[in-house]
Amino acid sequence: MDIKEQDILGDTINTNWYYRAKGAAMTRLLAAKPVRHVLDVGAGSGVFARRLLDQGAATATCVDPAYPREYTEAHQGKPIHFVHAAATHDADTVLLMDVLEHVDDDTALLREYANAAAPGTRFLITVPAFMWMWSGHDVFLEHRRRYTLAQLEKVARDAGLVIDTGCYFYALTLPLAALRRRVLRLLHGPGIKSDLTRPSALINTILMAICAVELVFFRINRIGGLTAVCLANKAK
């Protein structure tokens, strides 16, 4: 999660359709095995790590160099550590949710965490999809690139991981987002700001309902969406 978007959403982040839907997709992808120890890289507020703690994980470590300080707090009576870096870790599940697009060498960053992981550790990675969707939103969030699913899977393999599942998410909202960006560009030019806003309760409910429909089939969608998703593991 991007710190800049955390600043935009504030305390509405847990009810925002985008993060609720992504969290739901995350838990469905990870449902095959229990999650005990979570490492959330580029975690921001830790919204995804907290969700996994809610669903049975025992501990979480959130990594983000943007934190003003390192500290530990309790969530549901379980420890959640906020740190600037994690050179070593004992996580069985590593999250990189919208992280790789921010760095120059995405393979090197992923390989660093893969090398530090035990065999069998799962990695859930999401990135923004398709360079043709590039806009002021990406510039505002300091993205380096957007990805096709094939490109993301290549990064995972080059980092030494084995692919379990590759898919796109937010397929049903992709046309809406593309149209919105085109209209805004025509009306206001290529403005540099996040597309993420605090929607009205009605719009939030409608978008969440659309994403709920997509949760039924997203794991087999290799055609398109706003986000590319890869679940991989470190070979045993």
- What stretches in the chain show pLDDT beneath 50? none
Q: How far is CA 50 from CA 38, 55, 58, 78, in A?
A: 10, 9, 11, 10
Residue 202 host element (H or E): helix 201-214
Best CA proximity match to 46, nearest among 15, 14, 18, 17: 14
Give the model confidence (pLDDT) of 48-75 as tens digits.
Answer: 999 999 999 999 999 999 899 999 999 9
The pLDDT, as a whole number, for residue 170 is 97
The pLDDT, as a whole number, for residue 152 is 98
The pTM assigned to this predicted structure is 0.91
End-to-end CA distance of the chain: 29
Give the model confidence (pLDDT) of 198-209 as tens digits.
Answer: 789 999 999 999
The pLDDT, as a whole number, for residue 89 is 87
Domains of the chain: 3-234 (3.40.50.150)
In the 3-class helix/strand/coil scheme, how is 28-73 assigned residue by residue? HHCCCCCCCEEEEECCCCCHHHHHHHHCCCCEEEEECCCCCCCEEE
